[in-house]
Amino acid sequence: MSIHSGQLQRRAGATTTSSRWSGVVAPGLREIILLAALWTTYAISRVVASDDLAAARARAADLLHLESLLHLDVESWLNHAVTPISQIAVPMSFWYASLHYLVTPAVLVFLFVRHRGEYVRARNAIVIGSAIGLVCYVLWPTAPPRLMPGGAYLDTLVSTSDVGWWSGQTSLPNGLGQMANELAAMPSLHVGWTVWVAWALWRHVGVVGRTLSVLYALGTAIVVVATGNHWVLDAVAGAVVIAVGIVVSGRIAARARPSS
């Protein structure tokens, strides 16, 4: 009887493990497909967005004028201060070219595996915020500082491309630069995604984790401006569109919650 009971327990345990894995794998594949669709949408936006550099530079000049009125126009000073110093420029280039590709998916996986009940809202928040950003890229293509004429801004990633995998065009690997929208400066989703990371992790980490997540967001804002890839107001707008995504996703979650 004891041997038979042990066999039944092992079979029950195996069935439970199998059910647990099937409960993770199938939804996980669905989420991968959904996020891949978002990336496909971005790729399509690259095709339909205007590549009129002169118009994009004019919009950037208007943005810079507004920054000057607000005393926020620090891009040229910061860019020229850090780019000639390889000990600073190289780490910043690695930061810009890699962390948003690594940290954001890692946080999504963490929420999906450890906090499934909050995952859907968090995923909706970043999808909605990113979608708003993509619409802005199509309707209001704006040149980043590095594409402005006159030599007022340096392209930090180009100056450090000999030590990294990024191309001379964008943070994408060599050979894939043509897939990126170089006029997708406003808003900065680099910054927006870091704000999302800080928000998504806030309830699940301690003081150290919260401090690191805030420093990650602030550090990214400095990096995107210092490397000549975004204007200060691009960073602000990136935080705003993700904040909108967080608010909208919260309302969607509240409506989907069954009333007591």
CB neighbours of residue 99 within 10 Å: 18
pLDDT digits (tens, 9 = 90+) for 111-138: 999 998 999 999 999 999 999 999 999 8
Amino acid 32: pLDDT: 75
pLDDT digits (tens, 9 = 90+) for 139-162: 999 999 999 998 899 999 998 988
84's tokens: 């000639």
Amino acid 156: pLDDT: 94
Amino acid 186: pLDDT: 94
| pLDDT mean by block of 10 residues, the chain; 260 residues | 54 50 63 74 68 93 97 96 95 93 93 92 94 92 94 91 70 53 90 97 95 97 96 98 97 79
Amino acid 47: pLDDT: 63
Amino acid 172: pLDDT: 54
pTM, two decimal places: 0.83
